[in-house]
Chain A
Amino acid sequence: MRNCYLGIDVGSVSTNVVLMDENKEILGKVYTKTQGKPIDAVKRGLKEVQYQITDEIKVKGVGTTGSGRHLAAMMVGADVIKNEITAHGIAALNFVKGVRTIFEIGGQDSKIILLKNGIISDFAMNTVCAAGTGSFLDRQAARLDIPIQEFGNKALLSENPVRIAGRCAVFAESDMIHKQQLGHNQEDIIKGLCDALVRNFLNNLGKGKDLAGPVVFQGGVAANVGIKKSFEEALGFEVLVPPHHEVMGAIGCCLLAQEHASKNNGTDFKGFDIVHSGYQVKGFECLDCSNGCEVIEIMKDGQLTARWGDKCGKWSNNITTDQEKLA
């Protein structure tokens, strides 16, 4: 029987589940597309990670992160619910010694995290535009009919990259189309896009920040060797891509869950059996005041288990009394 920690990162594009043992060894990891259905994705992730494990395990703690962290936490019974920035920071600190800067590019957002003396000292998230994040690259790859896995390799073949305006996703796309109609070859356009995205990232997020090495590049986009190379060219030094770069958020959750378990007894984990439960989500607009909050209700097997979205707390707070009434 091995003691394990479960980490779940529910992002906009992918949902990642990681199972880590007490010696920080990754026993299983799942990277699955969210596809707008976070509940299904979490269930699928749990099911797949269960298949990967052969030994008998005992889950000692669970952590969730990502934009769907509250939903996932409610489903599995999480001990720690953390924001993406802290989760990514903790993960990089444990896997790369002395890391000073983290670039993280995910599906919908990109962030930069600076560390000093082993703790996060500063961070920034993209505010202006989604240009340069995973979903934009996905879209461009699909438009050019290149599998996203080969997108980065194509960029490496470029000898004469074109200059593309990367400030905004819409303009970047029309600029790319313009260059393609002029007759530039695909490799040069892709390399130009990678350069533009890196330029945009460093200008938008890295502005005024002291970017010291070692630099770690993680998140789904880190799989793209073209972007990695563009970063290295722009910075003038090597950028490291850790082995589990695409699931670093989930790994951070495992580490946070482990820390939590060392301080507290027991876990709220509801067990892997929840993959068989049926979850329904209902929403309604509360019309009791002019705020018009959109309240979300989560039903597990027909029973109301959680509510959120209201500003005043009237709905989310009286959930326990409802349960008592049902019982």
Chain B
Amino acid sequence: MKVTFPHMGNQYIATKVLFEELGVDIIVPPVCSKETLEIGTKYSPESICLPLKINIGNFIESIQQGADTILMSGSCGPCRFGYYTMLQKEILQEIGHNIDFVLLDPPQGDYKTFVNRIFHITNTKNPYKIIKALAQGTKVLYQVDELDDIAYYKRPRQRKIGEVDNLLEQFQKEVRNVKGYKEMKQLVGETKEKLMAIEEDPNKEVIKVGLIGEIYTIIEPFVNLNVEKKLGEMGVELDRSLKVSRWLTEHLYLHPLGLSMEKDIIKEAKPYMKTMIGGHARETIGYAVKYAKEGYDGLVQIYPFTCMPEIVAQSILPTIEKDFDIPYLCLIVDELTGDAGYSTRLEAFVDLLKRRREMKEDAKLLSGY
């Protein structure tokens, strides 16, 4: 059995550790690239959302390297994502890949199937071993997400532009060569130290932007055309509303127990959206309000073309823009998105935010006299 899984930002690092600790053979799909997208677009329905196309590309690239089992997570379908596994199974079958699909949906009463699936994919029936590996995987996920947070802080402040991303790129390459929790932990630790040591330029003007929108597009750098790097190097410190680590804790650990970390966010979203409408629309709205209240300079929303929940959120965001006087930019991505137009919009948005900041500071100075 050789297990593979789709990419989603840093998630693959944790999944790799999880399976290596269990002694299961895995194939990490190659980094998402133009080729991944081309393969995915070729075999997917034309109007499906972008993440499915990338997933299909990942799967086929892994199958070419010998994978025979695919692990997908689900979330009981708050949007089209809920049907991904079925559709992907059909697509792969149609082009002649008879692949074992294992779906890990949160158990909705049917614990027997759920547990059997876990035993199947983990190749063991020892619950202690599974729980230990899962805990280690989760830990790595949190550590890697912490690296991202440090990078958000360092990117706009680095003296030599590009240093942060060179380091992270190096890290992504080395991740593929290390094995198991111990080695990974060490690599992450070393990278963290190097990141922290990057020289800062104290004179750089830094503005703060909240990144909101559909989870996959804001997490996977290839899909959002490296928005974090682009904005970071223009002098923007980011905060991302959704993270894989938070998502995992929420859906895997807390949700089955009826708990939630997102109570604040739901409360913030309430005046604009009272109920869950699917996807992460409510989180998008909630985080937008939260960032606005925390004094962020602007908001950037990203979502894949045809994403219904985010379209609803998009139509509400101008009201938040007005209510809190916070500028907002919406970017929609799909396989036809052009880099140049995208960069122009981001550049203009950052200009706008910087000018606003200058005006505000001038006004403060004047009123001080």
* Interface residues of A, Cβ cutoff 8 Å to B: 67, 82-86, 109, 117-123, 125, 127, 208, 289-292, 311-313, 317
| Residue in chain A with minimal CB distance to B356 | A119
Residue from A85, A120, A311, A312 in contact with B344 in the complex, judged by beta carbons closer than 8 Å? A85
A178 to B69, CA, bound (A): 56
B283-323 CB mask vs A (1 if < 8 Å, else 0) is 00000000000000000000000000000000000100000
B127-135, B144-152, B196-204, B345-353 - interface stretch: B345-353
Question: Nearest chain B CB to A86's CB is how many angstroms away?
Answer: 4
- Of residues 335 through 369 on chain B, the ones whose CB sits less than 8 Å from some CB of chain A are 340-341, 344-345, 347-349, 351-352, 355-356, 359
B31-39, B95-103, B262-270, B272-280 - interface stretch: B31-39
B162 CB–A CB distance under 8 Å: yes
B332 CB–A CB distance under 8 Å: yes
Residue from A119, A127, A208, A311 in contact with B318 in the complex, judged by beta carbons closer than 8 Å? A208
A117 touches B359 (CB 8 A): yes
A125 to B338, CA, bound (A): 13
A82 to B344, CA, bound (A): 9
Residues of B contacting A83 with CB < 8 Å? 344, 347-348, 351
A313 to B164, CA, bound (A): 13
Residues of A contacting B: mostly = loop
Residues of B contacting A289 with CB < 8 Å? 31, 33
B169 CB–A CB distance under 8 Å: yes
B351 touches A82 (CB 8 A): yes
B35 touches A292 (CB 8 A): yes
B82 CB–A CB distance under 8 Å: no
A289 to B344, CA, bound (A): 26
Asked, given contacts A84-B344, A313-B162, whether A290 binds B34 with beta carbons under 8 Å apart, the answer is yes
A290 touches B33 (CB 8 A): yes
B352 touches A123 (CB 8 A): yes
| Residue in chain B with minimal CB distance to A67 | B340
A82 to B355, CA, bound (A): 14
Residues of B contacting A119 with CB < 8 Å? 352, 355-356, 359
A-B contacts, 12 listed (Cβ < 8 Å): A83-B347, A84-B348, A85-B345, A86-B352, A109-B341, A119-B359, A121-B356, A123-B349, A290-B31, A290-B33, A290-B34, A290-B35
- Of residues 1 through 58 on chain B, the ones whose CB sits less than 8 Å from some CB of chain A are 30-31, 33-36
| Residue in chain B with minimal CB distance to A117 | B359
B327 CB–A CB distance under 8 Å: yes
Question: Nearest chain B CB to A10's CB is how many angstroms away?
Answer: 13
A311 to B327, CA, bound (A): 29
Residue from A86, A117, A122 in contact with B351 in the complex, judged by beta carbons closer than 8 Å? A86
Question: Nearest chain B CB to A290's CB is how many angstroms away?
Answer: 4
Question: Nearest chain A CB to B364's CB is how many angstroms away?
Answer: 14
A125 touches B169 (CB 8 A): no
B348 touches A123 (CB 8 A): yes
Residues of A contacting B332 with CB < 8 Å? 127
| Residue in chain A with minimal CB distance to B330 | A124
A85 to B340, CA, bound (A): 13
Question: Nearest chain B CB to A82's CB is how many angstroms away?
Answer: 7
Question: Nearest chain A CB to B352's CB is how many angstroms away?
Answer: 5
A81 to B180, CA, bound (A): 47
- Residue with the highest number of chain A CB atoms closer than 10 Å, among B34, B352, B356: B352
Residues of B contacting A311 with CB < 8 Å? 226
A85 to B327, CA, bound (A): 15
- Residue with the highest number of chain A CB atoms closer than 10 Å, among B226, B340, B347: B347
A300 to B166, CA, bound (A): 29
Residues of B contacting A67 with CB < 8 Å? 340, 344
Residues of B contacting A121 with CB < 8 Å? 327, 352, 356
Besides A85-B345, A292-B34, 17 new A-B residue pairs in contact (Cβ under 8 A), listed by A number: A67-B344, A83-B344, A83-B351, A84-B348, A85-B348, A86-B352, A118-B359, A119-B352, A119-B356, A121-B327, A122-B327, A125-B341, A208-B318, A289-B31, A290-B31, A290-B33, A291-B34
Question: Nearest chain B CB to A298's CB is how many angstroms away?
Answer: 17
Question: Nearest chain A CB to B151's CB is how many angstroms away?
Answer: 16
Residues of A contacting B356 with CB < 8 Å? 119, 121
B352 touches A120 (CB 8 A): yes
Residues of A contacting B327 with CB < 8 Å? 121-122
Residues of B contacting A117 with CB < 8 Å? 359
Residues of A contacting B36 with CB < 8 Å? 290
B164-184 CB mask vs A (1 if < 8 Å, else 0) is 001001000000000000000
| Residue in chain A with minimal CB distance to B165 | A313
- Of residues 135 through 167 on chain B, the ones whose CB sits less than 8 Å from some CB of chain A are 162, 166
Residues of B contacting A118 with CB < 8 Å? 359
Residues of B contacting A208 with CB < 8 Å? 318
Question: Nearest chain A CB to B67's CB is how many angstroms away?
Answer: 17
Residues of B contacting A313 with CB < 8 Å? 162, 166
| Residue in chain B with minimal CB distance to A312 | B169
A86 touches B348 (CB 8 A): yes
- Residue with the highest number of chain A CB atoms closer than 10 Å, among B332, B345, B351: B351
Residues of B contacting A85 with CB < 8 Å? 344-345, 348, 351
| Residue in chain A with minimal CB distance to B31 | A290
B162 touches A125 (CB 8 A): no
- Of residues 221 through 253 on chain B, the ones whose CB sits less than 8 Å from some CB of chain A are 226
Asked, given contacts A290-B30, A290-B34, A290-B35, whether A120 binds B355 with beta carbons under 8 Å apart, the answer is yes
- Which A-B residue pairs are the 8 nearest by beta carbons? A85-B348, A290-B33, A83-B347, A86-B351, A119-B355, A83-B344, A83-B348, A120-B352
